Amino acid sequence: MAELMILDNNQEYRLLVKRVIIFLAGIYFIQGICQGGISGLFYLPLSFMLRDHLGFNQEQLAYFRGLVLIPWAIKPLYGLLSDFIPILGYRRRSWYVIAALLGIGCALYLAGCGNYTENQLLFSLAMMAVSFAFCDVLCDAVMVEKGKPLGLTDKFQGVQWASISLAAVLSGLCGGLIAEYLNYQQIFLAMAVPSFAVLIIAVFFVPEKKHDYKQSKKSETASVITPKEAIIVFTIVLSVIPILFFLNMVSMEMETLPFLMFVSPFLILGSLCFLFRKLLNKMIFFCIIFLFWWDFCVGLTAAPFFYYQTYTLGFSKMFMGTLQTIGSVGGLLGALVFLSTSRRKIFWKKQFIIETNLANLLKWAGFIGVVFILSNFLLMGKTSAIVLSVVMVFVYQFARLTMLVLAAEFCPTQIAGTFFALLMSVCNLGSSMAERVSGFLFKVLKNTAPQNFIDNFWAKFLTWLNWPIQHADPKAPYDIFVQYHIIGWLIIISLCAFSLYFFAIRRFGDSIKEKEELKTLDISPAGIKKSTRDAKIKKF
- For 157-193, write each residue's pLDDT tens digit: 888 888 888 887 777 677 667 777 778 788 888 888 8
DSSP designation for 300: G
Q: Flag whether pLDDT at 460 surpasses 80.
A: yes
66-80, 487-501, 521-535: segment of lowest average pLDDT: 521-535
> How much is the pLDDT for 176?
67
pLDDT of res. 538: 37
Give me the CATH topology for the region 281-346+353-540.
Growth Hormone; Chain: A; (1.20.1250)
How large is the average pLDDT for residues 364-378?
Answer: 83
Which string of b and e fits 41-61 if b means at least 16 CB within 10 Å? bbbbbbbebbeeeeebeeeee
Question: Same fold for the domain at 19-208 and the one at 281-346+353-540?
Answer: yes
Q: Which string of b and e fits 283-298 if b means at least 16 CB within 10 Å?
A: ebeebbebbbbbbbbb
**Continuous H helices in 248-316:** 256-275, 282-298, 302-307
Among candidates 149, 161, 47, which has minimal Cα distance to 403?
A: 161
Average pLDDT of span 2-28: 71
- The domain defined by 19-208 folds into Growth Hormone; Chain: A; (1.20.1250)
* Residue 411: count of CB within 10 angstroms of its CB: 28
pLDDT for 116 beyond 60 = yes
Distance, in Å, from the CA atom of 367 to the CA atom of 365, rounded to the nearest integer, reads 6
Amino acid identity at 68:
V
Residue 333: closest CA among 395, 269, 277, 402 = 395
Average predicted confidence (pLDDT) for the chain: 75
Confidence class for position 417, pLDDT limits 50, 70, 90: confident
Q: How confident is the model at residue 119 (pLDDT cuts 50, 70, 90)?
A: confident
The mean pLDDT of 443-462, rounded to a whole number, is 84
Give the pLDDT mean for 355-361: 67
> Where are the chain's structural domains?
19-208, 226-275, 281-346+353-540
Q: Mean of the pLDDT values across residues 328-343?
A: 78
Per-position DSSP letters for 150-200, written without gaps between them: HT-HHHHHHHHHHHHHHHHHHHHHHHHHHHHH--HHHHHHHHHHHHHHHHH
Comparing CA positions, the residue from 198, 102, 440 lying closest to residue 300 is 440
Mean pLDDT for the stretch of residues 68-95: 80
For 208, list phi and psi in degrees, rounded to 5: -140, 135
Other CB atoms within 10 Å distance of the CB of residue 7: 10
Stronger pLDDT, 407 or 19, i.e. the higher one: 19
Q: pLDDT over 90 for what percent of the chain?
A: 1
If you count DSSP H runs as helices and E runs as strands, how many of each does the chain have, helices first?
A: 21, 2
* Residue 101 pLDDT: 92
- Of the two residues 234 and 8, the one the predictor is more confident about is 234
**pLDDT band, very low/low/confident/very high, at 252 (cuts 50, 70, 90):** low
- Residues of the chain by 3-state class (helix, strand, coil), percent to 5: 80, 0, 20
The identity of residue 234, as a single letter, is F
Task: Give residue 348's pLDDT band: very low, low, confident or very high (50, 70, 90).
Answer: low
